[in-house]
Amino acid sequence: MTNPLYDALFAPHEGQDTIFLHLPGNQSLTHAEFLDEAGRYANALKSLGVGPGDRVAVHVAKSAAALALYAACVKAGVVFLPLNTAYTPAELSYFVADSEASVFVCDPGEAQELEEIAKSAGAALMTLDANGEGTLSSLAAKQEAAFQTATRDSEDLAALLYTSGTTGRSKGAMLTQRNLLSNAESLIKTWRFTADDVLLHALPIFHSHGLFVATNVMLLAGGSMIFLPRFDLETVLAELPKATTMMGVPTFYTRLLDEPRFTRDLASHMRLFISGSAPLLAETHIQFEERTGHRILERYGMTETSMNTSNPYDGERRAGTVGFPLPGVEVKVCSPETGEELGTDEIGVLWVRGPNVFKGYWRMPEKTREELREDGFFITGDLARIDDRGYVHIVGRGKDLIISGGYNIYPKEIELFLDEQPGVKESAVIGAPHPDFGESVVAVLVPQDGDTIDLAPIEAEAQKSLAGFKRPRRYEILPELPRNTMGKVQKNQLREQYADVFQAKS
């Protein structure tokens, strides 16, 4: 019996007393302790009637217990569905129902509010808090650590990650065991991770970056992680001397550069700094090297593919580029109109093919056919060019995607919400440069004829209906939206008009 992902990431560490997680408060967990906990969670899920192929939706704070729940799902052959902790009940209702989750795990403090959502979806509601306490952990504590690993095939689903849809309906990207394992194997080779590495982990684990990139790489390498609940500047400065590597979003690095105590001496022992999930400004790249002597290694990935490209470990890490395709991954730039491959330095849509590319969108065969070709190439929607040295440059994002603090935001989803608000005739949502988040959301509203817009109730409704990272940080009101002769809203004009609205830090 085999389970490729468990056999590679977890099985080699069974019974090992080496440290896997360094936790706040000078606590730690060995690999053996962590896997014993995962076994108990696997038995807890089984006692709830969860079996291979079932989905478990998880909306909880980052903790060692939450990570053990992920390991338990892999061991039990269960499809893991992590959900952004910022999601509102209105958003969660869709994910839990659409995935037909068997179990929905949430924080104890929100259980009452989410009980009806779980009931309507036919999911058992369990709780788990930031300290690893709750009804699920209580159930797990009564279980044995031993659990017979479920037999799974490399093409079986391991995870379901929802990515915002341009039509407002989120899409569930189906990631297989092969997708996740092949990516971890490529990254270890490319980034030279070994059992001697200690990764400073301040990323969330509801996101591909923190879970499938950072965690899977460290499990496969056999190293350890300084597992922080979130990015806190004081904690990162204190823990950095104990680490050898760090993965982060650009915001992490800009905040470190804003701190005079972040010096060349403090970073001198580090082997590698990696950045992703959002574009790293060339200015940040240069300032970081001047301050520390380290060139940040930037890479490029997506929810549907995990990592696709990376700047080289050896060789020039070029600011403003995302490097070369990873081993086993093919990329090409194609005409958005014809799909024909373009030449060097020509700008088009980036297509990606490899063992990392997802299986398709959950119960969306038509959408899958639109974006995942029969020959295996996935149409990313990102605008790119490949230079004469083979470096990939992401020069724009198709479909008006906004990336704020590392999170993808599709304007259409927010526009559909805004258009339903009282007094609003229509809306356009754009991203504007933000000094802390890279980009942030600006909502441009047009009032109903002869009407005025009261922003207070709209902002209050946004608090209830939209995750924090999606909520507009700025509202602008115009008599009409700029349009071209075909009637299409000219968002490029709006971006130019409001490019400076976040110049002062907010």
| Strand residues in 116-230 grouped as ranges (E) | 124-127, 157-163, 171-176, 198-201, 224-227
Task: Report residue 447 as tokens.
Answer: 């009032």
Comparing C-alpha atoms, which of 61, 56, 10, 54 is closest to residue 36?
10
How far is it, in rounded angstroms, from Cα 210 to Cα 67?
A: 11
User: What confidence tens digit (pLDDT) does each residue in 394-440 have?
Assistant: 886 666 778 898 887 878 789 889 989 999 988 999 999 998 898 99
Q: Would you say residue 170 lies in a domain?
A: no
Q: How confident is the model at residue 166 (pLDDT cuts 50, 70, 90)?
A: very low
Residues 381 and 428 in one domain: no
- Domain residues for the domain of 264 are 198-400
C-alpha to C-alpha distances, 135 to 97, 129, 140, 141, nearest whole angstrom: 22, 10, 9, 10
Residues 375 and 423 in one domain: no
pLDDT at site 167: 47
Mean pLDDT value across the chain = 93
Structural domain count, the chain: 3
| Strand residues in 283-423 grouped as ranges (E) | 297-302, 306-310, 324-325, 330-334, 348-353, 360-361, 378-386, 392-397, 402-404, 407-409
Residues 469 and 407 in one domain: yes
Residues 260 and 223 in one domain: yes
Of 47-51, 111-115, 402-406, minimum mean pLDDT range: 402-406
Q: Would you say residue 447 lies in a domain?
A: yes
Residues 407 and 436 in one domain: yes
Q: What is the mean pLDDT of residues 299-316?
A: 96
| Four-residue CA torsion sign, 166, 169, 173, 174 | negative
CATH of the domain at 123: 3.40.50.980
**Is the predicted pLDDT of residue 343 greater than 90, yes or no?**
yes
Final residue in a domain of this structure, among 400, 417, 451? 400
How far is it, in rounded angstroms, from Cα 370 to Cα 364?
A: 10
Of 337-346, 393-402, 429-438, 476-485, minimum mean pLDDT range: 393-402
Cβ contact 458:424 at 8 Å: yes
Residues 359 and 421 in one domain: no
**Residue 93: Cβ-neighbour burial (10 angstroms; 0-12, 13-18, 19+):** middle
357, HSE (Cβ side, Cα atoms, 13 Å)? 21
